[in-house]
Amino acid sequence: MKHFRSLLLASAFMAGLGGVSFAAEREGVVVSIKPLHSIVAAVMQGVGEPKLIVQGAGSEHVYSLKPSDAEAIEHAKVIFWAGPSMETFLDKSIDTLGEGATVVALGDAEGLTRLKFREGGPFEAHDHGHEDHDHAAEAGEGHHDHHGEYDLHFWLDPENGKVLAGDIARVLSESDPEHAAQYEKNAKAYAEKLNALTKEVTAELGAVKDKPFIVFHDAYQYFENRFGIKAAGSITVSPEKAPGAARIKEIHDKIKSLGAACVFSEPQFEPKLVNTVIDGTDAKTGVLDPLGAELRDGPDLYQQLISNLAHSLKNCLSK
């Protein structure tokens, strides 16, 4: 009987707490996609490991948030993402579940080279290299102001990778002052690695600079701009939108007229379209991966991703 009374009292006590909200303390770092996660992981080495949202061969263009992702966002202290133009699947979740966290759209990092979208699939050479150094911080713009204006594949320029590492170190230092010196040290060491990587890739691509090629979707202009190579067009403007017959014919004709050496697919998407557009041409096929879909997550992924792009381009264009 005594035990029964105790249970009743305990139940009444818990019921009385029903209207009380206990906000769990936020902790940890969450990052949206693999390339950005890799840079964050490099800056956090010796301190902790960030949580990755879009894993494996998932694409930010077509990804659906899982319950475990939502839980990670809800409890994270710091959230890094590219921005709403790239990761529409995260926009609402960050606004709701991310409330109270430090949310950083890395596409707005101060000092980042940003390029406006090239218009149309078969873009022409004069569209290359139009850099925009008007930073969001200087213009007083929020990240939503850039929607649809700037190409958010900004990580494909290693110089931007250095900027991102510095910005990530700053944010983490503000959130975790105890380890600020380690974050700063890691970011500087990472920048040196990227300097060496840029020299290696520049040398590797020197012999194929003037060879035109076609990409699956227009994701590579930052890489092209940095290393002086020339994409002649893309099969589709956006990977979630299948091109129609007229677009396919347009690209097919462009391959023939330019004598494009290679047409590249991506591991996240069905390669049948590539085989269709090269039919009847001398073009070869290759694979370019802007996300590191098949690479192991972690601090080395970003450098391997950039190296792999260079290897794929050189191998296909040299044939």
**How high is the pLDDT of residue 130?**
40
Residues 212 and 157 in one domain: no
Domain edge (last residue) among 180, 201, 222? 201
Determine, yes or no, domain membership for 169: yes
Residues 49 and 193 in one domain: yes
Residue carrying the six token digits 């050479």: 125
When comparing pLDDT for 86 and 126, which is higher?
A: 86
Q: Which of 124-133, 159-168, 301-310 has the lowest mean pLDDT?
A: 124-133
* Alpha-carbon distance values, 61 to 84, 86, 133, 238, 291 (Å): 11, 7, 26, 8, 11
Is residue 51 a contact partner of residue 30, using CB atoms and an 8 Å limit?
yes
Distance between CA atoms of 72 and 55, rounded to whole angstroms? 14
**How high is the pLDDT of residue 58?**
55
Determine, yes or no, domain membership for 115: no
- The residue-averaged pLDDT of 92-119 equals 90
When comparing pLDDT for 129 and 311, which is higher?
A: 311
- Class of residue 64 by CB neighbours under 10 A (exposed 0-12, middle 13-18, buried 19+): exposed
Residues 51 and 192 in one domain: yes
Domain edge (last residue) among 201, 231, 254? 201
Residues 61 and 165 in one domain: yes
Residues 44 and 183 in one domain: yes
Rounded to the nearest 5 percent, the helix, strand and coil shares of the chain are 50, 10, 40
- The residue-averaged pLDDT of 22-31 equals 74
What pLDDT digit, counting tens, does each position of 221-280 carry?
Answer: 999 999 999 898 888 766 667 778 888 888 899 899 888 999 999 987 777 888 888 999
Domain edge (last residue) among 201, 223, 249? 201
**How high is the pLDDT of residue 206?**
95
Residues 49 and 176 in one domain: yes
Determine, yes or no, domain membership for 279: yes
The proportion of the chain whose per-residue pLDDT surpasses 70, expressed as a percent, equals 78
Determine, yes or no, domain membership for 174: yes
Distance between CA atoms of 138 and 135, rounded to whole angstroms? 5
Is residue 221 a contact partner of residue 118, using CB atoms and an 8 Å limit?
yes
Residues 33 and 89 in one domain: yes
Is the backbone of residue 8 left (phi > 0), alpha (psi -120 to 50) or beta?
A: alpha
Nearest of 51, 46, 42, 47 to residue 70 by alpha carbon = 51
Q: Which of 42-51, 65-74, 156-165, 284-293 has the lowest mean pLDDT?
A: 65-74
Counting every residue, how long is the chain?
319
Residues 161 and 273 in one domain: no
Residues 270 and 223 in one domain: yes
Determine, yes or no, domain membership for 105: yes
Determine, yes or no, domain membership for 119: no
Find all residues with CB under 8 Å of 101, minimum gap 6, and list them: 26, 73, 76, 77, 78, 79
**Sign (positive/negative) of CA torsion 109, 114, 118, 124?**
negative
SS (H, E, C) 117-170: CCCCCCCCHHHCCCEECCCHHHHCCCHHHHCCCECCCHHHCHHHHHHHHHHHHH
Distance between CA atoms of 153 and 165, rounded to whole angstroms? 16
Residues 247 and 187 in one domain: no
Mean pLDDT (the chain, rounded): 83
Residues 246 and 309 in one domain: yes
Residues 213 and 305 in one domain: yes
> Which tokens hold the place of 150?
């700037």
Instruction: Tell me the CATH number at 51.
Output: 3.40.50.1980
**How high is the pLDDT of residue 187?**
99
Find all residues with CB under 8 Å of 78, minimum gap 6, and list them: 28, 29, 30, 101, 102, 104, 171, 172, 175
What does pTM read for this prediction? 0.82
- Where in the sequence is the domain holding 172, given as residue range(s)? 29-110+140-201
2 confidence band (pLDDT: 50, 70, 90)? very low
- The residue-averaged pLDDT of 280-296 equals 93
Determine, yes or no, domain membership for 67: yes
Q: How many domains does the chain have?
A: 2
Determine, yes or no, domain membership for 295: yes
148 confidence band (pLDDT: 50, 70, 90)? low
**How high is the pLDDT of residue 66?**
81
Beta strand pairing call for 78-81 and 51-52: unpaired
**How high is the pLDDT of residue 134?**
41
60 has pLDDT over 70: no
